[in-house]
Amino acid sequence: EIVLTQSPGTLSLSPGERATLSCRASQSISSSYLAWYQQKPGQAPRFLIYSASNRATGVPDRFSGSGSGTDFTLTISRLEPEDFAVYYCQHFGNSPSYTFGQGTNLEIK
Amino acid sequence: EVQLVESGGGLVEQGGSLRLACAASGLTFSKAWMNWVRQAPGKGLEWVGRIKSKPDGGTPDYAAPVKDRFTISRDDSKNTVYLQMNSLKTEDTAVYYCVWSGYYYRFDSWGQGTLVTVSA
């Protein structure tokens, strides 16, 4: 089973700054099978990115995804107050086995 | 707009059973692949299982921790997917989310979740 490791665990930044969140897979995966989600306290997760780099409908273009192989990145170009949340990456594996990373908590500095 | 509304959560004793339901609207449910994802208090997300649409076989698949204890089924006439949970353990305590896959390899829409608490 593929293990996804997200870093850092917590990222403290200020509005207007750039955020870079990492998701590393335990072995090489197809970028087609990598997605990202945002979760705010007390809310359900929200779908952000599919196939590593494609934004879901309605997601602002300050959110971008990139990467290949074992290393994937979610970048938020200029943080807005509503962007502070927990972010999860997800891999759609065979069998099926749909694993999530442990999450990165993006907090206001 | 896709809406997913879960129900059936609550408090149950270890070893007991519970059935969750998820009513869907705003999508062609008969063609939808549906998932269940859970989140233990203060923890991350864990995929529980999914059921394919009947045109794609209608078969369920499960994560290892729940296989042989949980059963996912669907009633397309009611636009509803179910999660039957048997032999519940304290570690099954979590918020359970119903999730729609609008296409392969993505979880497009999530319900608000329903809390299941398993007491020792």
Q: Which residues from B are below 8 Å from A103, CB to CB? A: 44-45
Residues B9, B77: contact at Cβ < 8 Å? no
Contact call for B110 and A101, based on CB within 8 A:
no
For residue A1, what pLDDT is reported? 87
Between CA B83 and CA A38 the distance in angstroms is: 25
Tell if the CB–CB gap between B106 and A47 is shorter than 8 Å.
yes
Average pLDDT, integer, range A45-51? 98
Place of tokens 């519970």: B18
**pLDDT score, position A95:** 76
Contacts of A45 in chain B (CB under 8 A): 37, 45, 97, 107, 110
**Average pLDDT over every residue of B23-52:** 97
State the best of A98, A100, A104, A105 to mutate against chain B, taking most chain B CBs within 10 Å: A98
Please compute the mean of the pLDDT values over residues B53-73 and round it to a whole number: 96
Average pLDDT over residues B94-106: 94
pLDDT at B104 over 90: no
Q: What is chain B's Cα-based Rg?
A: 13
Give Cβ neighbours of residue A13 (< 8 Å, ≥ 6 apart). A19, A79, A106, A107, A108, A109
Terminal alpha carbon distance of chain B? 40
